[in-house]
Structure formats: C-alpha cells, structure tokens
A and B are shown apart, each in its own frame.
Chain A
C-alpha cells in the first residue's frame, strides 16, 4: 500500500466547475505540500500546510491531521488549471526530514 494516496487519478471537468482532489496518507507527518505540474513539465509549489486551511486566489487547501487527509479545491475552474496536482507529505525519521509524493491527479478542464 502506498503511503500517500491521491484520488481521483484522472479528472475531467467543464469550465466553471468546482473541483476537489483528495490526498490520504498513512504516516505521521509534519506538513503536507501541494504541487502543480504543468503539461510542459514545470512544477510550482501551491501550498504547504500543517493544519487548517489556506487560500490563494481560486485555490483552497485543507488538512485534517487526525484523519490523515487533505483536499485541494479549485473554484470556478478554467482550462489553464489543466495540470497534474501532486501532494507530498513531510515526515521526520530520526533527525532528518523526508518527503513522500503521491502519484498525482491529472486534471483536464474543458472550455
């Protein structure tokens, strides 16, 4: 079983729809990272969360540490949101940190 599970793997939406991408993890973590990878391959860091909720523009990320679950929401989706969204969890083993990545959710937003 993967330590970080994302769902769905693929998501197709119509422009304007509200989108939710989920990330569940099995290890005790210090923080969770949401990344966006564009079709050309470039990666952008969206959020780093250790508790609660963060908002940036049309993007909202939430985390529930007790339930070991995080969600990324996109409101009023747009074709330019089409990308792969990846969550990564940060945990500390010994004195060093380590990041474990999910496999990503591929989002396609149709006009």
Chain B
C-alpha cells in the first residue's frame, strides 16, 4: 500500500459527460501528479501540482483540468468525454517539488466511456 488513495476505482459514463476523479496523497507529500494510461498511448504525464500551485504540465487536453486543494487532495476533471478518454488514470505523490523525486502511485481509477 503506497498510502495514496484514489476514488472511485471504476467509473462508467457516456460520451459528452463530465467526471471528477479524486486523489489523496501520502501524508506529508506536497506534490501530486496525474497520469493517463491507455492501451494505444501507454502512460502519459498530464499535470503536476505542488502545494496548491501548478508546477508542470504534460499532455493534458484542454477538456481536462485539475486542481489541488488546501488539504492537498487533488481532483482531475474530465469534460465533454470521448470514447478515446477511456483509460486508467493514476495519481502519484511525492514530498518534493521536483519531478525527479520518488513518486508513490495510487491504485488508479479505471474510466470507461460508452
């Protein structure tokens, strides 16, 4: 158990809908990272927050947004969902601000868009 929790574990929704994925980092970790893993694209880095501020941005679509709250949990919002958004979404946390720090991964949320 990494200490990182993600909810929900599974999510099934329809095209055009909006969903919110939630991540609670390990106690004491200030950085949260979001990743998408799909069958065709593999793992992709989406975005990093550190202590409430956006720190690094990867291949995140404009339809997706994230934030980190004062209690350090983070939410990833996915809107106008398309079939191709079906994937595993992982969050990870680390103590440091640098993306080079050891990251601890949550169990993932499996999103299915029908």
Contacts and interface: CB of A to CB of B under 8 A. Distances in A.
Contacts of B55: 96-97
A88 B88 CA distance: 17
Nearest to A97: B99
Q: Which 3 A-B pairs have the closest CB atoms?
A: A43-B105, A99-B45, A97-B99
A48 B100 contact: yes
Contact of B100 (A30, A43, A44, A86): A30
Contacts of B99: 90, 97, 99
A33 B108 CA distance: 19
A49 to B, nearest CB: 10
Interface of B: 2, 42-45, 48, 55-58, 88, 90, 92, 98-105, 107-108
Main secondary structure of the interface of A (DSSP, over half): strand
A106 to B, nearest CB: 12
A45 B102 contact: yes
A103 B42 contact: yes
15 contacts: A30-B100, A41-B88, A42-B108, A43-B90, A43-B105, A43-B108, A45-B102, A45-B104, A48-B100, A48-B101, A96-B57, A98-B45, A99-B45, A101-B45, A103-B42
